[in-house]
Structure 1
Amino acid sequence: MVLTPAQLLKGYAQGVFPMAESAYDTRLHWFDPPLRGILPVGGVHASRSLLRDLRRGGWTAHLDGDFEAVVAACADRDTTWINEPLARLYSQLHRAGRAHALEIRHDGRFAGGIFGVTIGAAFFGESMASARTNGSKMALLWMSSQLARCGFTLFDTQFLTPHLERMGGREIPRAQYRALLADALPRQADLLSAPLPGGDQLWQEITQTS
Structure 2
Amino acid sequence: MARNALIHRCAWADNDPLMRAYHDEEWGVPERDSRELWEKLMLDGFQAGLSWITILRKREAFRKAFAGFVPEVVAKFGEKEIEAMLQDAGIVRSRAKIEATIGGAKAYLKMQEAGEDFSAFVWRLAGGKPIRNEGAVPAKTALSEEMSAALKKRGFKFVGPVIVYAWMQACGIVNDHSPDCFRRNAVRKGKTS
Band the TM-score falls in, shorter-chain normalisation: under 0.3
1 or 2, which has the higher strand percentage? 1
Normalising to structure 2: TM-score of the pair? Answer: 0.28
Higher relative contact order, structure no. (Cα contacts within 8 Å, ≥ 6 residues apart): 2
Normalising to structure 1: TM-score of the pair? Answer: 0.26
